[in-house]
Amino acid sequence: MTLRQDIHSSGIPVLCRSCEGRRRGICGALDPDRLAALARSSSRHKIEPGVELVGDCEAVNSYSNVLSGVVKLTKSLSDGRQQIVGLQFAPDFLGRPFKVESEISAEAATVVTLCSFPKAALERMVKESPELEHRLLKQALDELDAAREWMVTLGRKTASEKVASFLVMLALNIDTSVDSAAISASFDLPLTRADISDFLGLTNETVSRQLTRLRAEGVIRIENKRHVRVESVGRLEQRCGGRRPRQFG
């Protein structure tokens, strides 16, 4: 059995062997030959927090897979107000197919590793492998579901419900041991208070006050400003306003 696996994996490019993108991401749609072709023109990058990956109204020449870390997608108004419209985790595909120009800006929220490839390379693959387009469609629909879930949060929830919903969403996406039945969770916040407020349509002061309140009520515990320990996922979910936040990616 180990032998067979070795033979089988011998066709897989070294770069891709241990990559999540092959299991859950779009690369799983590619046969070894196409994967090799794509791998030849792709490269890994390590990106520091705060670095802008794609500027607003900027031409986009490459796509990427997120291999680790968190990328925030933001839109801003001309007077500086900002809204985070999406978070991307591994192994999400990053980019907007079929558009020359991005209306969104993407920025590394944490240290991020990406696997990038030229726009043209992916678009050639799409023409050859229908399964690839199928995966892109699936991710787009998942992101659409997530965006709509957050529209409810932005439009109809109170500040305290917003913060609780945000924490539950993070727990589901970051602390992989958390499923619907989990009692406690533990993770590092990938966003600053200011980022969180841009995600929830609040001010950083309000976010801070709500976190303080959750801490005072014993629902969460915060260490070093960044590390969150959710003592009771159930009690946190009760504060989300009556609809369970779904997984983001």
Partner DNA sequence: CGCGAATTTGAGTATGTTCAAACATTGTGG
Partner DNA sequence: CCACAATGTTTGAACATACTCAAATTCGCG
Binding site residues, DNA, CB under 7 A = 158-160, 192-194, 201-209, 211-212, 222, 224-226
Stretch of 11-19, 37-45, 62-70, 82-90 contacting a second copy, by CB under 8 A: 82-90
Smallest distance from the beta carbon of 53 to DNA, in angstroms? Answer: 18
| The entry of a second copy, DNA, none that residue 235 binds, CB within 5 to 8 Å by partner kind | none
Instruction: Calculate Rg over the CA atoms of the chain.
Output: 19
Q: In angstroms, give the least distance from the CB of 224 to DNA.
A: 4
Q: What is the largest CA-CA distance in the chain?
A: 61
Out of 5, 78, 176, 180, name the contact with a second copy by CB under 8 A. Answer: 78
Cα distance between residue 235 and residue 249, in whole Å: 24
> Can you read off the two tokens belonging to residue 107?
């920025």
Tokens of 212: 């303080």
Residue closer to a second copy (CB basis): 59 or 152: 152
- CA dist list (Å): 241 to 21, 85, 179: 34, 20, 19
By the rule CB under 8 A, 54 interacts with a second copy: no
Q: What are phi and psi of 29, to 5 degrees?
A: -80, -10
- Compute how many residues bind a second copy; rule: CB under 8 A: 45
Under 8 Å between Cβ of 70 and 4: no
Using alpha carbons only, give the angle 233, 237, 243 rounded to the nearest 5 degrees: 145
Which of DNA, a second copy, none interacts with 138 (beta carbon under 5 to 8 A by kind)? Answer: a second copy
**Where does this chain bind a second copy (CB under 8 A)?**
73, 75-79, 81-83, 85-86, 96-99, 103-104, 130, 133-134, 136-138, 140-141, 143-145, 147-152, 154-157, 198, 200-201, 241-243, 246
